[in-house]
Amino acid sequence: MEQFFQQLTNGLAVGGIYALIALGYTMVYGVLKLINFAHGDLFTYGAYLGMTLLTSLFLQDRLGAVAGFLVLAVMVMGLVALFGVILERAVYRPVRESHRLAAVVSALGASIFLQNTLMLIYGARFQVYPDDVLPRVAVNVLGLEIPLMRIVVVLASVVMMAVLYFFVQKTTIGTAIRATAIDQGAARLMGIDVNRVIRLVFLIGPALGGAAGLLVGLYYGQVNFTMGWLYGMKAFTAAILGGIGNIPGAMVGGLLLGVIEALGAAYLSTAWKDAISFIVLILILIVRPTGLLGERVADKV
Amino acid sequence: MKRVMGLALVLSLLGVGSARAADTIKIGLMAPMTGSWASEGEEMKKNVELLASELNAKGGLLGKQVEVITEDDGGDPRTASLAAQRLTTKGVVAVIGTYGSAVTEASQNIFDEEGIIQIANGSTAVRLTEKGLKYFFRTCPRDDEQGKVGAATLEKMKVKKVALLHDNSAYARGLADEIRSHLKAKKLDIVFFDALTPKEQDYSAILTKLKASGPDVVFFTGYYPEAGLLLKQKKQMGWNVPFVGGDAINNPDLVKIAGKDAAEGFQFLSPPVPRDLDTPEAKAYLASYTKKNGETPGSIYGLLAGDGFRVVAKAIEATKSTDADKLREYLTTGLKDFPGFTGKIAFNVKGDRIGELYRVYKVDKTGGFVLQK
Amino acid sequence: MNRSLLRAYVAAAAVLAAAPLALDAYWVDVLNNVGLYALLALSLNIILGDAGLFNMGHAAFYAVGAYTTALLNTRMQLPILWALPVSGLVAALFAALVARPVVHLRGDYLLIVTIGMGEIVRIALVNDVFGLTGGANGLFGISRPSVFGYRIRRPQEFFYLIWLFVALTVFLFHRLEQSRFGRALNYLREDPVAAEGSGVDTARYKLMAFALGAAWAGMTGSLYAAKMTIISPESFSFWESVVLFLIVILGGSGSIPGVILGAFLVVGLPELFRGFASARMLVFGLVMMVMMVFRPQGLLPLRTVRFKKSDVAKAEVAP
């Protein structure tokens, strides 16, 4: 039984990361109907940028642990958001009018380009975060040893999701985003600056992805230029699981997928862990394609 | 029509570019310059090129300069077979490489059919030398030797329950299987046998499962990036069971990834690391490598490639020829106790390296690798 | 097909037939790889180009064919050229089986599902499912094809085998284009609702497209296994599926000559640029992005060009 709860917490912690990345996917898909294959690579950029900034600016020494971390997070998120906007303007905007396939190919091309640029800059080997940036404290919850940082990760995901959710539901610009997601043409007719909305979405989504990258780098300590692929795939599965276009859905999907993976590894076989995620994906798409919490985009006939 | 003309033009241009003249002895190097093992390929290249330039400075081989021709095998079999084909058209006398058993296997037949000596440096699958290929050799040991030493090491630790973890790659799985069969013979209890997914970050699920199976020791046969993460996360979990690794763990980055306290006490098998080589030649080479590249050689496989090159050079010198059959004859019978950087080298008739290569290393608290007696 | 295309094919065939005599073994082998990829891309073209089904897991069908041949050959000593059609059949059945539950899905979703399926197949191969696939080691010891006792071994010999198969495929697929089946596929790609309304059983045709595409990919897998004599899961990764997808799109989705040209470029160019290995991938990504902006219909598209929404809008407004 102890193993069950331990695996549960393992799954939730990993799921928190999936959720953060999934939020980016789901927002972009909701508004543009585009699977941003490059999103996973933006996540990787977050991890690498975090490492570079951390080792060159010594924020921890200057500002103390907590403030240093927050400043670092803001910087990383800002930079990755910037990349996201550039990506949208340079790669996706020109193909917006074309066939769906063109956007898919562009997205793939962008992913390959980003990944290899990173490889050329940083080299093919693994890169390592400096040690001891985060406190290595473990908290004892109900008899289980849980590292504090894992709880922080899950909380951070939930908080960011909550903020995003209220933003989208309650503010004017949030409503504009939702309107654009439902019908771009009509939104334009209502006077919404669709380009601005899309730009905003490409600011927020990648920022969250970048934050996830930073957290992963800080917590696991090791980054490599291909990490975006696997995380991206899982996060996309999570987004679909929860309902693509649906913000709380991304959260639920992420956490649930993490747990399914951990329990699957524990009780079935660790070697098939990834296959389990893909099987979940396929089953959901067959049985309930709108996802658990329902899709929030209009269906094309 | 235009398209066809263009095609014809391109094809004819390609046909022209193949033959090369110049009076040099060409040694091929097939290495992963791109793909997942690019870092190994880089080191292989650095080692072989440095050795070639040193040799040339001393006058070359048989009065001619040595030219190293490198082809990228991309770490995958298909690219490797193309790379091998390409090397055969360049007039190489011998080829060093490569890393990765499946990748090497894709190239074996091609070199054998063309009568080109191949010395692999990082392909430990047993079956590569069980096919009766005349011109294939390897400076790296085989998985069955490592399996034997691995099982013996575990036995020495006086444990009862062993967990075996691999990563489903050909190498790691093979090694895990070998250790398992030896352990069964010694009647040790194997409580866990499964694989993790490489290139992932979070191994907490697997570690939790491992812990639940209650082993006295865990033998991980995979590569150093995953090993580093395992050690780090196991420490975070507060789990103190000792871990042992195979030779793919041997890389200084292991300690960087795991962190010094997590890595302390970890043991692994490996051919002797550069620092522990005490022949004057080895020390001199290490010094010149460090001078040229700004750091000591990190990978044992890079050094094994270097040894492969030196062995070929020695064979050419000794037989005063570049004929593959004469070279083969020399390598299997004439070469005895060659002072390689990785230990004494001799080959048996199958092309395998003779001699017990593996030692046990332990990581101390400063992160250094200490040879255990 | 029209006269100029036929002339182009004949000229290309003449050049190719002479190629092994002029080129060394390495370049012949490059052309062999081009041929194999052309076959795979043509098979994907049926699914993606003709039927408009987003399939990014095509490597799975390739793998099924290759492994079927490998198993039949190493365990039951079945000669390669007999195993070839069997592999095609097995791949087709496999495709029909896995496509059935998902064939009704919308474009992007189908894309993701096919990616997932491709990955599941790969993981199953690596994990030595049913003890058959040899795990990460793969299967080895596959024999060479023999035609009336003549063993096909060298690249030059494989060249003729592969490219004859390509020629046959091109001929058959052009006939298919003109046939009722081909036209039905085009119809359901352009407007599935209208097609269904006109009595085209879209689900059935989609499945048939998958099965046919898979069959050809399976047979190509068979040739690949015989050529390499060892196969391992690495050769059937997601990346392979992406490359095939790209060849079809960049060459001109639905267009047979376009797809063949695409294969030449995508496989041949990196070999020409072997010196710039690491920048190679970067350029690849860049090319993809640029092509979609400037020539989304591909290099040699079918004569019918898609209309952009903005053009249609403009046309509707005009007097």
Count of CB atoms situated within 10 Å of the CB of B220: 27
Distance in angstroms (rounded) separating the CA atoms of residues A65 and A83: 27
Look at residue B262 in the predicted model and tell me its pLDDT. Answer: 85
What pLDDT, on the 0 to 100 scale, is given for residue C168?
94
Contact map slice: A 32-91 vs C, CB within 8 A: 33, 35, 91
Of the ranges A171-180, B210-219, C305-314, which one carries the lowest mean pLDDT score?
C305-314
Report the 3 state secondary structure along B319-334.
HCCCCHHHHHHHHHHH
Q: From the candidates A32, A37, A108, which should be mutated to test the interface with C, based on the most C CB atoms within 10 A? A: A108
ipTM computed for the complex = 0.82
pLDDT at C278 (0 to 100): 63
CB contact under 8 A, A98 and C308: yes
Mutation pick from A128, A225, A229 vs chain B, by most beta carbons of B within 10 Å, is A128
Q: Please tell me which residue of chain C has the smallest CA distance to B13.
A: C23
Segment B248-276 mean pLDDT? 82
Q: How many CB atoms lie within 10 A of CB B288?
A: 14
Interval A90-103: pLDDT, tens: 888 888 877 777 88
- Which pLDDT value is given to residue A161? 85
Q: Is it the case that residue B21 has pLDDT exceeding 50? A: no
Which residue of C113, C124, C242 is in closest CB contact with A285? C113
Report, as an integer, the average pLDDT of C88-102. 94
Q: What is the mean pLDDT of residues A165-187?
A: 86
C271 contact residues in B (CB cutoff 8 A): 82
Pick C311 or C306 by higher pLDDT.
C311
B46/B289 Cα distance (integer angstroms): 8
| DSSP letter assigned to residue B64 | B
| C235 vs B12, B78, B127: nearest CB | B78
Residue A57 has pLDDT above 80, yes or no: no
Nearest CA in chain C to B173: C136
End-to-end CA distance of chain C: 37
Nearest to C8 among B3, B85, B174 (CB): B3
**Reduced to 3 states, what is the DSSP secondary structure of residue B30?**
strand
- Compute the nearest-CA separation of A98 from chain C (Å): 6
**SS3 per-residue string spanning A223-281:** ECCCHHHHHHHHHHHHHHHHCCCCHHHHHHHHHHHHHHHHHHHHHCCHHHHHHHHHHHH
Q: Which two tokens stand for residue A27?
A: 């927002």
Convert C155-215 into a string of H (helix), E (strand) and C (coil). Answer: HHHHHHHHHHHHHHHHHHHHHHHHCHHHHHHHHHHHCHHHHHHCCCCHHHHHHHHHHHHHH
Q: Which residue has the tokens 């997932």?
A: C116
C16-56 pLDDT, tens digit each: 888 888 888 888 888 999 999 999 999 999 999 888 899 99
For the purposes of burial, counting CB atoms within 10 Å of the CB of C46, is it exposed (0-12), middle (13-18) or buried (19 or more)? buried
The C-alpha atoms of residue B197 and residue A136 are separated, in whole angstroms, by 25
- For residue A58, the distance in angstroms to the closest alpha carbon of chain C comes to 32
> CB-CB: which of A222, A262, A270 is closest to B201?
A222
Instruction: State yes or no: pLDDT of B252 exceeds 90.
Output: no
Six-digit token string for A59: 């924020």
Nearest CB to B195 within list A124, A220, A270: A270
**Residues of B with CB below 8 A from A153's CB?**
none
Residue B181 in contact with partner chain A when CB distance is under 8 A: no
Mean pLDDT (whole number) for B65-72: 92
Q: A135 and chain C: CB distance < 8 Å anywhere? A: no
What six digits make up the tokens of B27? 């040694």
Q: Alpha helix locations (H) across B158-299?
A: 170-185, 204-212, 224-237, 253-258, 260-263, 280-293
The distance between the two most distant Cα atoms of chain B, rounded to a whole number of Å, is 76
Q: Pick the range with the lowest mean pLDDT from A74-88, B246-260, C44-58.
A: B246-260
Other CB atoms within 10 Å distance of the CB of residue A142: 8
Strands A144-147 and A138-141: antiparallel
Do B3 and C140 lie within an 8 Å CB cutoff? Answer: no
Tell me the range of A42-46, B141-145, B317-321, B366-370 where mean pLDDT is highest.
A42-46
pTM confidence score: 0.84
Q: Is the pLDDT of residue B12 over 60?
A: no
Instruction: Collect all residues of chain C within an 8 Å Cβ-Cβ radius of residue A275.
Output: 119-120, 123-124, 127
Which pLDDT score is estimated for B18? Answer: 38
In chain C, domain spans:
3-238
Tokens for A145? 């040893």
Cα–Cα distance measured from residue B153 to residue C234, given in angstroms and rounded to the nearest whole number:
33
Domains of chain B: 2-141+278-345 (3.40.50.2300), 144-270 (3.40.50.2300)
As a whole number, the mean pLDDT across chain A is 84
Say which range, A182-191, A230-239, B16-25, B327-336, has the weakest mean pLDDT: B16-25
| Inter-chain touch C26–B86, beta carbons under 8 Å | yes
**For A100-149, how does the pLDDT look when each residue is reduced to its tens digit (9 = 90+)?**
778 888 888 899 899 888 888 887 677 888 766 666 666 777 667 777 77
Given a cut of 90, is residue B165 above it in pLDDT? yes
Compute the distance between CA of residue B201 and CA of residue A223 in angstroms, rounded to an integer: 8
Collapse the DSSP code of B28 into the 3-class scheme (helix H, G, I; strand E, B; otherwise coil) and give the result. Answer: strand
Assess B238–C contact: CB distance below 8 Å, yes or no. Answer: no
Residue B75 is which amino acid?
G
pLDDT in tens, C203-218: 899 999 999 999 999 9
pLDDT for the residue A238: 92
Instruction: Using a CB–CB cutoff of 8 Å, tell me whether B238 touches chain A.
Output: yes
Would you say residue B133 has pLDDT above 70? yes
Q: Give yes or no for residue A270 having a pLDDT over 50.
A: yes
The two three-digit tokens of residue B291, written as one number: 């001078």
At residue A2 the predicted structure's pLDDT band, cuts being 50, 70 and 90, is confident
Pick from B18, B71, B173: CB nearest C136: B173
- Interatomic CA distance for residues A108 and A112, integer angstroms: 6
Is the predicted pLDDT of residue C271 greater than 80, yes or no? Answer: no
Question: What was the pLDDT predicted at B13?
Answer: 46
Q: In what helix (H) or strand (E) does residue B68 lie, and over which residues does it extend? A: strand B65-72
Distance between CA atoms of residues A226 and B351, nearest Å: 36
Report the range of poorest mean pLDDT among A53-67, B199-213, B305-319: A53-67
Which residues of chain C neighbour A274 with C-beta distances below 8 Å? 119, 123
Asked whether the beta carbons of residue C108 and residue A33 sit closer than 8 angstroms, the reply is yes
